[in-house]
């Protein structure tokens, strides 16, 4: 009788352990999710068109039709050289050309009547053609004496003065387009499939408080073998002209990973040396070291350490231990959605 009464308290003491096999946890069955990744790169604003305006001829500046920083249209006259000497040469050449034409026509008629030789006729025709080429050359020189804007844009500093004597190739000013602007940046080769024509990127410009948007337009046809990067170019509107070529840009590119492993951020256990989570295997908790990717609100992307189909502990993991028994009090399944 004493023996029976002594074993009774022992049985009662073991009752709680029998009722609960392990610590209570809530788990999430992992499935592939669509997750938006953000990649950041350094870039530079570039002008669509940019040129240094130079004189092709040597001559004296007769008139200047622009000031520093003017906005011009294609075909606007920027500068005129003194062309009086070239105009006189052209007029003289035209007179000689007309005389040669008449002489050639006359000799052609005489040759038909066997009055002049074939050589005399040919020399007259050749003289006419040489003078025609001379006239065309002088017309071209006269046109180049008037310097015009080759495209729409904004001028830089005026670097000549009225009456100045210019040498051939003398710098006059610069001309740059500022709307639209181009955004050039380098992308690692591993992300080349994230580059899609027409995709939008977010551009943060140094000194600007408001981010801008740009549209991917084109990329190089090959990867740089030295840096293993791909040069990408996007187009950005700049209607007010406040942004300038050469400025530093911070580019953010979003891409969608349709097979991402995404977990609640609260499931992460951050240590001094690593980041880990707990999963349930055969009724026991198992610690997994993971590599964390981008975060979006309350969710994080896991790049390494977890697989689809595993059951992640997202509540109760603070008390969990590797190989320790657990009791699942709630189990959820993920729904696929872009996060």
299/192 same-domain check: no
Q: Is residue 185 part of a domain?
A: yes
Q: Which pLDDT band holds residue 250 (cuts at 50, 70, 90)?
A: very high
Q: Which pLDDT band holds residue 13 (cuts at 50, 70, 90)?
A: very low
Q: Which pLDDT band holds residue 337 (cuts at 50, 70, 90)?
A: low
72/151 same-domain check: yes
196/227 same-domain check: yes
Domain CATH code at residue 107: 1.10.287.470
Tell the residue number behind the tokens 């500093």, with chain if given. Answer: 157
User: Which of 257, 279, 310 is the C-terminal boundary of a domain?
Assistant: 257
Q: Is residue 54 part of a domain?
A: no
User: Which of 158, 176, 194 is the C-terminal boundary of a domain?
Assistant: 176
User: Which of 206, 236, 257 is the C-terminal boundary of a domain?
Assistant: 257
| pLDDT value of residue 336 | 55
> Residue 318 pLDDT > 70, yes or no?
yes
Q: Is residue 16 part of a domain?
A: no
Torsion, CA 200, CA 204, CA 208, CA 213, rounded to 10: 0
Count of all residues that appear for the chain in the document: 339
> Residue 21 pLDDT > 90, yes or no?
no
Ranges 18-32, 129-143, 152-166, 278-292: which has the least confidence: 18-32
| Beta-sheet strands, E only, within 76-160 | 77-81, 146-148, 153-155
Q: Is residue 205 part of a domain?
A: yes
C-alpha 103/C-alpha 248 separation (Å) is 67
Q: Which pLDDT band holds residue 35 (cuts at 50, 70, 90)?
A: confident
123/94 same-domain check: yes
Provide mean pLDDT across the span 232-252: 94
> Residue 19 pLDDT > 70, yes or no?
no
249/194 same-domain check: yes
The model's pLDDT over 196-241, given as tens digits with 9 standing for 90+, comes to: 899 999 999 988 889 999 999 999 999 999 999 999 999 999 998 8
| pLDDT value of residue 333 | 85
228/311 same-domain check: no
Q: Is residue 265 part of a domain?
A: yes
Percent of the chain with pLDDT over 70: 92
Domain count, the chain: 4
Ranges 101-115, 194-208, 215-229, 254-268: which has the least confidence: 101-115
185/253 same-domain check: yes
191/163 same-domain check: no
Q: Which pLDDT band holds residue 186 (cuts at 50, 70, 90)?
A: very high
Domain CATH code at residue 71: 2.40.50.100
Question: Token pair for residue 320?
Answer: 């969990």
> Residue 326 pLDDT > 60, yes or no?
yes
Strand order in the sheet with 171-176: 50-54, 171-176, 153-155, 71-72
Nearest to 245 by CA among 149, 184, 186, 178: 178
Q: Which pLDDT band holds residue 9 (cuts at 50, 70, 90)?
A: very low
Domain CATH code at residue 284: 2.40.420.20
Domain CATH code at residue 203: 2.40.30.170
C-alpha 76/C-alpha 70 separation (Å) is 11
73/156 same-domain check: yes
The model's pLDDT over 148-160, given as tens digits with 9 standing for 90+, comes to: 999 999 999 999 9
Percent of the chain with pLDDT over 90: 60
**Are the C-beta atoms of residues 80 and 63 closer than 8 Å to each other?**
yes
326/183 same-domain check: no
181/45 same-domain check: yes
DSSP 267-316: G-EE-SS-EEEEEEETTEEEEEEEEEEEEETTEEEEEES--TT-EEEEES
Q: Is residue 111 part of a domain?
A: yes
109/212 same-domain check: no
C-alpha 69/C-alpha 158 separation (Å) is 8
Provide mean pLDDT across the span 293-317: 89
Q: Is residue 10 part of a domain?
A: no
> Could you list the residue range(s) of the whole structural domain that residue 234 is in?
39-49+177-257
Question: Token pair for residue 120?
Answer: 């005399």
């Amino acid at each position: 009788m004493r023996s029976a009464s002594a074993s009774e308290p022992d049985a009662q003491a073991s009752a709680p352990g029998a009722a609960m096999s392990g610590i209570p946890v809530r788990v999430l069955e992992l499935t592939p999710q669509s997750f938006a990744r953000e990649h950041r790169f350094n870039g530079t604003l570039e002008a669509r068109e940019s040129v240094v305006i130079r004189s092709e001829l040597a001559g004296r500046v007769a008139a200047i039709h622009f000031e520093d920083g003017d906005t011009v249209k294609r075909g606007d006259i920027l500068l005129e050289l003194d062309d009086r000497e070239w105009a006189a040469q052209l007029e003289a050449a035209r007179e000689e050309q007309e005389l040669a034409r008449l002489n050639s026509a006359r000799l052609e008629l005489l040759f038909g009547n066997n009055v002049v030789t074939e050589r005399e006729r040919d020399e007259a025709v050749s003289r006419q053609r040489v003078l025609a080429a001379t006239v065309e050359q002088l017309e071209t020189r006269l046109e180049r004496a008037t310097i015009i804007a080759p495209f729409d844009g904004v001028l830089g500093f005026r670097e000549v003065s009225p009456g100045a004597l210019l040498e051939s190739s003398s710098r006059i000013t610069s001309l740059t387009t500022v709307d639209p602007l181009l955004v050039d940046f380098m992308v690692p080769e591993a992300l080349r499939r994230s580059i899609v024509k027409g995709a939008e990127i977010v551009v943060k410009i140094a000194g600007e408080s408001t981010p801008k948007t740009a549209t991917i337009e084109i990329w190089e046809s090959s990867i740089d073998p030295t840096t293993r990067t791909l040069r990408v170019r996007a187009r950005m509107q700049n209607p007010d002209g406040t942004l300038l070529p050469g400025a530093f840009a911070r580019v953010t590119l979003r891409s969608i990973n349709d097979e991402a492993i995404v977990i609640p951020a609260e499931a992460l256990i951050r240590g001094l040396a690593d980041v880990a989570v707990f999963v349930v295997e055969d009724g026991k908790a198992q610690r997994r070291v993971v590599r964390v990717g981008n975060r979006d609100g309350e969710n994080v992307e896991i790049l390494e350490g977890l697989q689809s189909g595993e059951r992640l502990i997202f509540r109760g993991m603070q008390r969990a231990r590797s190989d320790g028994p657990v009791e699942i009090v709630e189990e959820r399944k993920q729904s696929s959605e872009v996060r």
